[in-house]
Structure 1
Amino acid sequence: MKKLTLKDMTESEQREVKTELDRARKNQGRPLTNTEQNKVKDEAIERIMAAREKIAKATRAERKANRVQPTSTTFSWTASISTRPHR
């Protein structure tokens, strides 16, 4: 899966990333350097990507379980054809 960008995220996911940046800034007690900012942002994006992948995996499993299961009975053409001769 390719790395998400902020543009690809929903509003709530973008807020989550910004909240993480704010928490890190508050914990440091100073503005973050570009390296620190990128590290925090990458960690938040990784968590969001993992959550999305988990949801996608569950969806695929559910779809696979709901797929029509092949049965052992087959369609019988003779049952649908009248045995009476046509006149």
Structure 2
Amino acid sequence: FDYCCVHGVYALEEEGIETIMINCNPETVSTDYDTTDKLYFEPLTLEDVLNIYDHEQPLGVIVSFGGQTPLKIAKALEDYGVRILGTQ
């Protein structure tokens, strides 16, 4: 998952899109402060993700690179009004 997240960030940055990473594991490459524009070390719970979403007001979120945990909250995020990017 880490490889996908990092390369997803690189692709977004090439398009000039600011990136925000939420990761609960500080031992991974995606938690390198040089990888993304903003980095949060928080649990990937609906409540924590929504708190960050409300604070940052991003264009949307990408849940497809983080494994089962973000996929499990994707519908609840969408129900809240979060735009889920990269899926249809």
Q: Which bin holds the TM-score, normalised by the shorter protein?
A: under 0.3
**Structure whose residues are more often strand by fraction:** 2
**Structure whose residues are more often helix by fraction:** 1
Provide TM-score, normalisation by structure 1.
0.27
Provide TM-score, normalisation by structure 2.
0.26
Higher gyration radius (CA): 1
